[in-house]
Structures are given as C-alpha cells and as structure tokens.
Amino acid sequence: MKILITNEAGCFHPGIVALAKELCKDHRVCIVGPLTKQVGAGHSLTVDQRPLHAQQWYVLDNIKMWSVDGTPCDCVALALDKLLLDKPDLIISGIDFVNNHGNMIYTSGVVSAAVEGAIQGVKSMALSAVIKNEKKERDYRAVAKFVRRKLEFLASKIPDFGLLNVNFPEKIKPKRLMPTHLTDGLLDNEYEIEVNPFGSTFAWMKNPLREYSLDAYEQKGDLYWLKQGYITITPLKLDLLKGEALDTLQKAGIKL
C-alpha cells in the first residue's frame, strides 16, 4: 500500500519515526508532518494570507519526509493536493503519546488529520497510545509493530466516509481488542490564574484535556475499556447530523 503518515507532535517526533520505520518494511511510506508541535490544534486549516512553508528532508532511508509549518490538517490537505505524486491508499495519523478518547477527538490534531483524510476520500485512521517517555523512539515500537501486523485488518474496518480511532493502553496484549463507542461527557478542564504586578491576567490549563468526571467510566465506552487494558477501536463518521432533532424541527413547521 501507499501510506501517508502525519501527526500533531512534529515530523521528527519519535512516534511518527517509529511507525514509518516499521511500515516501510512492507509498504511505500511518506511522512508529511507539522514542523512544530500542534497539540490541541483540532480541525484547523491555514486560510489567511500567510503562505505555508514546505520543506523536504532526507533523514530516513527509503522514506520521503516533508515538514509543513502549519497544522496537521494543513499537512494532509497540502500533501494530497501538491506534495504527493500519487494518491495514498491509506492515511495514518500518529502515534500520539496520550490517548485520544471520548470528546478529546474534537481538539486532537491527530484525530483531525485523519478526519481531513476522510473528507478528501482517503481511508484514514488515528493512532494514540499511553507512552511513558514520549521522547524515546523505542517506547513506540510495540504499537508500531502491532499496527504493521494488523494493518490489513484495521484498514478493512474503516467505514465509508469515516475513519478509525484506535487507542492503545500502556501494556499491549494482542488479543485484547475492543470495538467500542466514544465516552460521552464534559472534560474536567481547570485553569491556573495569575496576575502580574502590572495587572495583566494570565491563565494556564492544568491537566489539559485529559480529565473526566467519574460517571464517564460507567458508560463502558473507550475510556472504560482502555483502563481495563484493551486496545479500543472506534469507527467514526463525518456526518454529525442529529437526525431526531432535525425530524422534530421539520415536524414543528418552523416559519421564519
């Protein structure tokens, strides 16, 4: 297969390097990733007058790599339109060093890059894992090896006009896979506030985008199964329409 790999942590990040090194053993692999970290970028595209700077690098044998000084979605869109000679068979975003479960998918640059691929009509998946040391390539190898072994299976389960969101626990057990739904619930975000001597207010997010309320575990969604040591697989669709609400509005006969 021809595979495009991207992420939100940067094109030189050990997670994307480990994945590319493993997959290039069986497939044609190209990396197009952001030049710098874009954590929490969500589904954002650079649409102002600022040009995107794309640069090719020759640092990995048999793997073409481009850096783009934009968001993960910029990377996918630019790669498909201009940087790649051929349309890829598959887009893989990751490996992220924290899980992207539940409502975290809306702010995750890793998941959003896969969404952009799906919008462009390319089968896509997002990979996230619990990594002890995000700066050590060897800590990502178990996930990369698993993905290589199960790639045909995972690719076959990607829904039409959708994507797969795959999360790995800290210890991977190959036979513990759980297809499951997203955990619903509000993220328990908290900010630290400080005021400097000149009266300006500054805010830092504590535990950014990672904490859930206790009732979230009772839903037995992706968050619950990850805590039980399972690899979770969640198919996502692009259509966010709430059909029941639309039916209610249509039946109400709203007149403007």
Residue 203 lies inside a defined structural domain of this protein: no
Tokens of 124: 């896509």
d(CA 15, CA 106): 21
Residue 255 lies inside a defined structural domain of this protein: no
Pairing mode of beta strands 162-168, 201-206: unpaired
d(CA 159, CA 163): 6
Domain that holds residue 147: 2-181+214-246
d(CA 224, CA 246): 31
Domain count, the chain: 1
- Of 59, 33, 223, residue with least CA distance to 128: 223
**pTM, 2 dp:** 0.92
Residue 55 lies inside a defined structural domain of this protein: yes
CATH number at residue 39: 3.40.1210.10
Q: What is the pLDDT along the chain (256 residues), one digit of tens a residue?
A: 999 999 999 999 999 999 999 999 999 999 999 999 998 899 999 998 899 999 999 999 989 999 999 999 999 999 999 999 999 999 999 999 999 999 889 999 999 999 999 999 999 999 999 999 999 999 999 999 999 999 999 999 999 889 999 999 999 987 899 999 999 875 667 789 999 999 999 998 876 545 566 677 788 999 999 999 999 999 999 988 877 888 888 888 765 4
Residue 186 lies inside a defined structural domain of this protein: no
Residue 11 lies inside a defined structural domain of this protein: yes
Residue 162 lies inside a defined structural domain of this protein: yes
Residue 145 lies inside a defined structural domain of this protein: yes
Cα 103 to chain centroid distance, Å, stands at 12
d(CA 2, CA 146): 18
Beta bridge partners, 172, equal none
Residue 253 lies inside a defined structural domain of this protein: no
Distances (CA, A) of 84 to 1, 46, 58, 243: 14, 19, 16, 38
